[in-house]
Structure 1
Amino acid sequence: MKTNIYVNNEKFIAGMTMKDDAELEFNNMALHACENPKDIVENREKLAIFLNCGLDHFVCANQTHSSNFHRVTLDDKGRGAIRTDSAIADTDALYTYEPNLLLCSFTADCVPVTFYNEANGLTGVIHSGWQGTIKEISLKLFEHLKQFEQCNLSDVHVQIGASLSQAKFEVDEDVYLKFKDLGYADDFMYFNEHTHKYHIDNQLTVKKQCELAGIPTEQIAIDQTCTFVSPDGFSYRQDKQSGRHMSFIMKRAID
């Protein structure tokens, strides 16, 4: 199965599953957007084997384009792994200090973020569609980690995953104004005179939010694969029936 691995060392593994013609439902990983839930569970089981963990180690949320986040504990182990009704409700970001919990986020054009803190073992995932971005979910989560978890953000490494590119992210003035109101996204937008549409770089806006929180620029990486253009991408904008990528991260247990 096609998977972009972003981090793979003795402490952490992080990556993003990609569309794959050879797999069930093209390697769709989302129970909330599928034809047959059994296919999705089978795809997830294959991923679990690949990652050398159990499916019951997955932790998933029911994403609602909110700015809500949840600290995952061992009690959350397996939530959303095989059924949507057991997933963490109304949440678009997860973080944990626990080893062997695979935090999961689902996207098809939205910006997925995975992150880890080398010093304290913190891991996390963020789902930031344009609605999450204007609600500043990444900035709010990292400020929470700094203030309430005493997390030194200079130790945090961020991976921004594949998503809709600026060239394909066309919006009308109403969405443009919401980004402009952020006060720091002007450099990531342009107006197309021919189509009278605005184009926004959601990835760079999310990156800016990470920087504003205090994460060093050199510790933020971006996968520039466009989910609309790439044959490996699921794109909701291109196909409303599309499947979903899963972005994931797990801290390994040290023997």
Structure 2
Amino acid sequence: MREPFVMVEEKPFLRLLEWESRFPGLVAGFTMRTGGESEQPYGSFNMGLHVGDEAQHVVANRKKLAKQVEMPFASWTCAEQVHGNQVCQVVAAGAGRESLNDVISAADGLFTEQKGVLLTSFYADCVPLFFLDPVSGAIGLAHAGWKGTVHRIAEEMVKSLQLQHQTKPQDLLVAIGPSIGGCCYEVDERIMSQVRTCVRDWESAVTPPQNGRYMLDLRRLNTAILLELDIAMENISSTEWCTSCRTDMFFSHRKEAPIAGTTGRMVSYLGWKDQNQKGEGSAS
């Protein structure tokens, strides 16, 4: 399968090019670590306000991304992210764009059908899930670390889209973005005990153990969950980018934080442009 997340024109983000080409007005992608204002250990395109970076640097980076994807900064919307499986419908743009004080609380998934809302979610190894219903136009982002994955945040998103937008699973498109791969993600029996109960086909995502440790592919585990929800395999696009293998391109909490104590965050973004909005990144 062709890599869905593509670097274009040396910009500091990967575009979900197939979706953007197929659906005019849609912006979708995932940032990389370079090309921003942040100083070490957050160098340099850090998007997370919650990791100890200077807020003005983070906001400058967010404004730069908004400008480059031609969405107003006022459209930027994000949630608290607590490694759970709660998803929230977004009815107005702007939550959390400059401060944690007004972030959408206790949610790891956001969805909307409104234009002029840029959904965003933050990562440094966890799995970004992108959802698009071509029939209703509803879109969603979900943050799936191991906890969110085994508690089936993907299912919570699909159920919410079904309830609020009458989405049919067979119509739904899903993209799985850059994250730590099965090549690098080593887990113990404590995590595996939950992996075994989260989906029937869990074994497809696990390498047999050595010395009591397993290699877990969270992207494959989420794929197994999506297939169990009757989403067609041909409608699921999954990346090959591993954040731990490619710390020249991405932040990796698993690889970097044990050494430096912290690291920055990439952002996944997804939104429909509103032609009535100004597309400049410095709007407030």
TM range, smaller chain: over 0.9
Quote the residue 1:18 is aligned against.
Answer: 32
Quote the residue 1:243 is aligned against.
Answer: 264
Q: What per-residue deviation string (whole Å, max 9, x for no partner) do you get for residues 199-218 of structure 1?
A: 11100111122222222111
Query: 2: CA distance between counterparts of 1:68 and 1:96?
Result: 15
Alignment partner of 2:175 out of 151, 159, 162? 159
Query: 2: CA distance between counterparts of 1:218 and 1:34?
Result: 40
Q: Where in structure 2 are there 5+ consecutive unaligned residues?
A: 1-10, 277-284
Alignment: residue pair count:
252
Quote the residue 2:58 is aligned against.
Answer: 40
Which consecutive aligned stretches of 4+ in structure 1 deviate over 3 angstroms post-superposition?
Answer: none
Quote the residue 1:57 is aligned against.
Answer: 75
Quote the residue 2:85 is aligned against.
Answer: 67
Quote the residue 2:153 is aligned against.
Answer: 137
Partners of 1:58 and 1:78 within 8 A in 2: yes
Query: 2: CA distance between counterparts of 1:147 and 1:63?
Result: 22
Query: RMSD of the alignment, in Å?
Result: 1.6
Cα drift, residue 254 of structure 1: 6.0
Matched to 1:188, the amino acid is: A
Cα drift, residue 162 of structure 1: 0.4
Quote the residue 1:185 is aligned against.
Answer: 202
Q: In terms of mean alpha carbon deviation, does 215-224 or 86-95 score higher?
A: 215-224
Cα drift, residue 11 of structure 1: 3.3
Alignment of 1:85-100 (within 5 A): 85-100=101-116
Partners of 1:28 and 1:34 within 8 A in 2: no
Matched to 2:28, the amino acid is: A
Q: Where in structure 1 are there 5+ consecutive unaligned residues?
A: none
Cα drift, residue 22 of structure 1: 5.9
Q: Given the two structures, how large is their TM-score scaled by the length of structure 2?
A: 0.84
Query: 2: CA distance between counterparts of 1:55 and 1:14?
Result: 15
Matched to 1:115, the amino acid is: F
1:234 aligns with 2:251: yes
Query: 2: CA distance between counterparts of 1:172 and 1:100?
Result: 43
> What is the identity percentage for the equivalent residue pairs of Structure 1 and Structure 2?
27
Query: 2: CA distance between counterparts of 1:251 and 1:166?
Result: 32
Partners of 1:139 and 1:212 within 8 A in 2: no
Query: 2: CA distance between counterparts of 1:217 and 1:23?
Result: 39
Alignment partner of 1:8 out of 20, 36, 41? 20
Cα drift, residue 57 of structure 1: 0.4
Query: 1: CA distance between counterparts of 2:275 and 2:134?
Result: 13
Matched to 2:203, the amino acid is: D
Alignment partner of 2:221 out of 205, 213, 229? 205
Matched to 1:236, the amino acid is: H
Q: In terms of mean alpha carbon deviation, does 43-52 or 210-219 score higher?
A: 210-219
Q: Given the two structures, how large is their TM-score scaled by the length of structure 1?
A: 0.94
Cα drift, residue 143 of structure 1: 2.3
Alignment partner of 2:122 out of 95, 106, 113? 106
